[in-house]
Amino acid sequence: MKISRLEVSNFVGISEFKFDLGKINILTGRVGSGKTSIIEAIEKGFSNKSQRVEVIRHGEDNATIFIKTDDGLEIDRKLRTNKADYLKVRKAGQAVPSTEKFLKQFLKGELFKPLEFCTKTPVEQAKIILNLLEIPWTMDDISNWFGEIPADVNYEDHILQVIGQIVKNYFSQREVVNREIVVVKAQVAGYKNELPANYDGEAWRSKKVAEYYTAVSDAEHLNKQRDQATTMIEGQEKRIATVKVETETEKQTKRNEMSQRRHELEEGRQGIVHKIETLKNGIAQKDLLLEQSDDAYNLELERNYLQLRDDYTLKKDRARQEIQGGVKALEQQVVDYEKTIYGKDLELTSLEGLEENALIGLGEKADERIKTEEAKIESSRKILAETVVVDVEPLRLAAAQVAHMQSFLRDYDLMASLIREKLAPREELSKLLSARIDKGRGMPTELLKIAGLPIPGISVDGEGQIRIGKTLIDGLSEGEQLELAFRVAKAQAGQLKLICLDGWNKINPSARTWIEKEIKEDEFQYVVVSTEDGDLTMNVSEGTAKGAI
């Protein structure tokens, strides 16, 4: 399909333009004369896309674009300021829809301009070329390939570029994760260096240090029992002899106590006997005194018998009562002392039995002590027979080792926590990212197997990089880039076989020669734009561009 008629009015810089187009159409004019507006009008007519915000000529209410093709297709598009735009599509002998979707089949995206392609960056050029590769894919495919829908990816790009972005992002993520792994491994190594060689924290954690110290305590207690048993056996005769000597000493002490008590009782008895004799002498003296008193008063009575008989009788009775009272008191003392003597005699008599019983008790006590010693000896012999000396030092060293090793558990747990909570997840993530990177790097090769390359001599590597032969597109010479641009232009063209050469005046003579040959031999229609002095002019030719320019 080629354009046979183009009519444009009030569009951008064009007031009115009506021309029948041929194979080669050369637009010339000064800068701002409307050359580019013609190309934009063709793009707007087919795609309704514009590179400008305002496309209606300033001061006008509407703009029109009419395009007719050599196969009878007519596009009548009106752009209006105060109304909705108008589109009517017709084709001779056919009913066709007046829709943008219908028009998209004729022009893929925008009107391709090979010379503009040469000025783009290699990344932009690669994107254009990759868009020629029709590789069907969906977001579900992305999820199936990578297990997720990665973020920070422009999914409007070509699938190979999308995969390239995903791989790049995964690679960046893995670099971050691997740096974190290095840091965490350094932290783990720091803790590990603080641990003894070949330290098994879980093995040391399972050991109960209290049991080790209990074993030490039990061994020390057993050895102490054996030492005590040996000492007990070795000192048996000495202890029994000591018991006998102590018993004999206690008996002699008891005899001395009894003898002393006996002596004290006898002395006390003698003293009481002496007191009794003294009292009896006193009583006898009292009797003599009584007789003497009686005689004195009798004599006095006789003298004063008549006058004083009654007084003297009374005095006599009083004197007798006093004397007799004193005698009775003395007699009572004698009775009391005699009772005391009787008690002393009984105590003296009982001392013999008490002494005998005390001595027997001391003997029995000594026998019990000897039996106890013999029982201890028997127990000591049993201990020595049933036990052996335990070497405590290895047990003490083992307990100390367990305690020492368990003191490293905090560092071990911190190290294990780092491994479990930071290192292992990051290593797993790094492994996952590596798998996804490998998957992503392999995907272009797999996808290219089902995609046709529409441009001869072009290949796409696993990373989505474009090569001409073995050369990346950013390494092409100016001439090679121009040749590539023409190949791309022809490959990406839709049913409308139109190529625009905007900037013909900037092409060097040798490149022009090659292009003129290319134009002459192919089936495409060309709009050649050259900036020159003068107003907008179009020259149409069915031959080569060389003759027209």
pLDDT score, position 548: 38
Q: Would you say residue 14 has pLDDT above 50?
A: yes
* Average pLDDT value for residue range 23-36: 90
pTM surpassing 0.75? no
- Give percent of the chain above pLDDT 70: 94
Amino acid identity at 281: N
CB 444 within 8 A of CB 167: no
Query: H or E element: which one contains 295?
Result: helix 236-386
β-bridge mates for residue 7, sequence order:
18, 66
Full residue range of the structural domain in which residue 365 is found: 214-386
Query: H or E element: which one contains 212?
Result: helix 209-234
The whole-angstrom distance between residue 537's C-alpha and the CA centroid of its chain comes to: 77
Choosing from 386, 407, 432, the residue where a domain stops is 386
pLDDT score, position 307: 63
Residue 414: inside a domain: no
Same-domain status, 488 and 382: no
pLDDT score, position 419: 94
pLDDT score, position 218: 93
* Average pLDDT value for residue range 522-544: 85
CA angle 330, 331, 332 (to 5 degrees): 90
Query: H or E element: which one contains 89?
Result: strand 86-91
Choosing from 386, 406, 440, the residue where a domain stops is 386
CB 401 within 8 A of CB 282: no
Same-domain status, 147 and 268: no
Q: Would you say residue 332 has pLDDT above 50?
A: yes
CB 266 within 8 A of CB 348: yes
Same-domain status, 145 and 219: no
Same-domain status, 254 and 378: yes
Residue 516: inside a domain: yes
Same-domain status, 85 and 223: no
Count the domains in the chain. Answer: 2
Q: 489 or 303: which carries more pLDDT confidence?
A: 489
pLDDT score, position 190: 94
Q: Would you say residue 453 has pLDDT above 70?
A: no
Choosing from 345, 367, 386, the residue where a domain stops is 386
CATH classification at residue 38? 3.40.50.300
pLDDT tens sequence across 411-426: 999 999 999 999 999 9
pLDDT band of 547, cuts 50, 70, 90: very low
Name the least confident of 269-283, 401-415, 515-529: 269-283
pLDDT score, position 544: 45
CB 546 within 8 A of CB 35: no
CATH classification at residue 272? 1.10.287
* Average pLDDT value for residue range 70-79: 93
Residue 411: inside a domain: no
Residue 416: inside a domain: no
Residue 27: inside a domain: yes
Give the residue among 116, 65, 72 at the shortest CA–CA distance from 93: 72
3-state secondary structure of 424: helix
Same-domain status, 145 and 15: yes
Give the residue among 547, 386, 530 at the shortest CA–CA distance from 28: 530
pLDDT score, position 304: 66
Q: Would you say residue 488 has pLDDT above 70?
A: yes
